[in-house]
Structure 1
Amino acid sequence: MKHVVEQAQKLAMLSAPLLITGDTGTGKDLFAYACHQASPRAGKPYLALNCGVYTGRCGRE
């Protein structure tokens, strides 16, 4: 868990968007929120998208 927290803190400093994948119930949203809160954007809105709800070619081009 310590490694995960360290990774979140490092990733938070990137200005690139993150795509976090994994099985249901693994804490992807918590990890994303931790990255957001540790980033310079912490005062701005946090937006999480569940790509599983999109069908067809969305995001695959």
Structure 2
Amino acid sequence: MNIVVDQGKCVGAGQCVLAADDVFDQRDDDGLVDLLDASPPAERLADVRHAAAVCPASAIAVSE
């Protein structure tokens, strides 16, 4: 699994952090997404896909 985030699209809603807090975080200065793990283990796939699906700005892309 490979994850790419587009901080230019991110609106800081934090839904990704709620879905997978070991993969995503929010920067302290502006609240935008911070990718903690671009290649998390396969067992996190469902949560990461959920994070991408609930992102209101579609700022997260997931590929396998």
TM-score using structure 1 length = 0.34
Higher helix share: 1
Structure possessing the higher relative contact order (Cα contacts under 8 Å, 6 or more residues apart): 2
Higher strand share: 2
Work out which of the two has the higher radius of gyration on C-alpha atoms and give 1 or 2.
1
